Structure 1
Amino acid sequence: MPVYRDEGVVLRTHKLGEADRIVTLLTKTHGKVRAVAKGVRRTSSKFGARLEPFMVADIQFYQGRSLDTIQQAETIASYGADIVDDYARFTAANVMVETADKVTELESSSQQYLLLIGALRSLSRQEHPTELTLDSYLLRALSMAGWAPSFDACAKCGADGPHESFIVQLGGMVCTQCAPPGSAHIVPQVVLLLDALVRGEWDVAEAVPVEYWSKASALVSAYTQWHLERTLRSLEHVAR
């Protein structure tokens, strides 16, 4: 069908010509969509503000040969206003949408869409500490894409834990026999935090002392970029 509707979250936008934009969205049922929003940079535009990053909208598309065209957009959720007012939340949200953009390049799913929407909503409402919200999203997005880290068993041989070394390239915690020489040991509090974040167990995660959060974040950042096989530019601006 040349015309279709879907709900989607705006990942990024690019200027096109004098008044148009190319909008990249992650939609609920059509995966990632790149579409032209004509005239949205004009002050008279009826729906330009509804197509800013982090916004969720019900959109009518016209299917084109290379790019679709956005014909209508109705706001479903406006997370952008609350997020952009706070630098930490803004940079975290940018990492989320960049990760969603990369992790859905080859294959998308409604679960990835719902996970991103939930993370942005939680971020905008400040339901949990910003850094934990970001790390939880990254771990869960990677898990949905087939790169779930192992915390209970050795990621290489499967031996039951607990183990002391987290090896990004091997997929998580590894036993002493599988750990490369000179591997750094990870304290149990960091492992507990990472496991709670991937499971969404917020009471457990927030009970871990703050001094361990940055250590966990460093591992999450390395793990994410290793499996995406590229550097996330937005991560450079996140205070860790």
Structure 2
Amino acid sequence: MTVYRDEAVVLRTHSLGEADRIVTLLTREHGQVRAVAKGVRRTSSRFGSRVEPFTYVDVQLYRGRSLDTVTQVETIHPYGERLVADYPRWTAGQAMLETAGRLTEEGQPSVQQFLLLVGGLRTLAGGERDASLVLDAYLLRALAVAGWAPSCTDCARCGAPGPHRAFAVAAGGAVCPECRPPGSASPAPATFVLLAALLAGEWGVAEAADERARRESTGLVAAYLQWHVERGVRSLRLVERA
């Protein structure tokens, strides 16, 4: 097929020439797709605002040799409209888009990653939950879908039942005293509870966590993500935490 249609989230865009843009999409059925959106930078463009980051779209594309071409696009939900007015949520959203881009590949479908990103952006834009908790929950679950779920209770090395008092990023999470490598973190017990709650989607437990647990979990999630994702996630440096 030379023409195909799919649902997608716009991850990022780059200017091309005087009026075009290269758009990177995370699609439901086709993985990442890089496509040219012709003429979208002109004021007369039919769908310029529909191919901006954070936008959830129904898109039709023409398959090309190196880059596909956007031929039709309809907005399903413009999440960016709400996020752009709230800097903490906007920066958290940027980190989510970049992470999704790092954990997926062109031509390799990942429906779970797609649905997780859509759900995360929906929750973030809704404004009902703390942006930092939403971001950390998304990052943990995205890593789990990619095969790197951290252990929050049992020892990540030997499987000894927990809870344990140390967390080793390189080892895969919680570690027992016998397996604990030098340089392991020693978070509070409540931090392990919060990490497990974020991973499982137990929002009542997560939102009841105290400031120390939230601060420590944020640091551990960021370190764990950077360890597993090549080149790191630069957007995390811009995230504004409460």
Where on the TM-score scale, by shorter chain, does this alignment land: which range?
over 0.9
> Helix, strand or coil: the match of 2:133?
helix
> Helix, strand or coil: the match of 2:170?
helix
1:105 Cα deviation after fit: 2.7
1:185 Cα deviation after fit: 1.6
**How many pairs are equivalent?**
240
* Pair 1:166–1:43, CA change in 2 (3 A): same
- Quote the residue 2:8 is aligned against: 8
2 CA distance for matches of 1:166 and 1:105?
30
> Helix, strand or coil: the match of 2:26?
strand
1 CA distance for matches of 2:185 and 2:101?
32
> Helix, strand or coil: the match of 1:72?
strand
- Quote the residue 1:42 is aligned against: 42
- Tell me the amino acid that sits aligned with residue 57 of structure 1: V
- Tell me the amino acid that sits aligned with residue 228 of structure 2: H
Q: Does 1:215 align with 2:209?
A: no
1:183 Cα deviation after fit: 3.1
| Identical-residue share of aligned pairs (%) | 60
Cα deviation code 1:118-140 (max 9, x no counterpart): 00010001121000000000000
Q: Does 1:204 align with 2:221?
A: no
**Range moving further from structure 2, 49-58 or 180-189:** 180-189
- Tell me the amino acid that sits aligned with residue 67 of structure 2: L
* Pair 1:103–1:182, CA change in 2 (3 A): closer
Cα deviation code 1:93-138 (max 9, x no counterpart): 0000000000003744111000000000100011210000000000
| Length-normalised TM-score, structure 2 | 0.97
- Quote the residue 1:163 is aligned against: 164
Structure 1 vs Structure 2 CA RMSD: 1.1
2 CA distance for matches of 1:96 and 1:27?
15
**Range moving further from structure 2, 181-190 or 226-235:** 181-190
2 CA distance for matches of 1:49 and 1:140?
30
* Pair 1:219–1:182, CA change in 2 (3 A): closer
Q: Is the 8 A contact 2:31 2:105 kept in 1?
A: no
> Helix, strand or coil: the match of 1:122?
helix
> Helix, strand or coil: the match of 2:159?
coil
- Quote the residue 1:56 is aligned against: 56
Within a 5 Å distance, the mapping from 1:185-196 to structure 2 comes to 185-196=186-197
Q: Does 1:228 align with 2:229?
A: yes
- Quote the residue 2:98 is aligned against: 98
| Length-normalised TM-score, structure 1 | 0.98
1:232 Cα deviation after fit: 1.0
- Tell me the amino acid that sits aligned with residue 152 of structure 2: F
Cα deviation code 1:171-225 (max 9, x no counterpart): 0000000002453322111000000001111011001113321111000000001
Unaligned runs of 5+ in 2: none
Unaligned runs of 5+ in 1: none
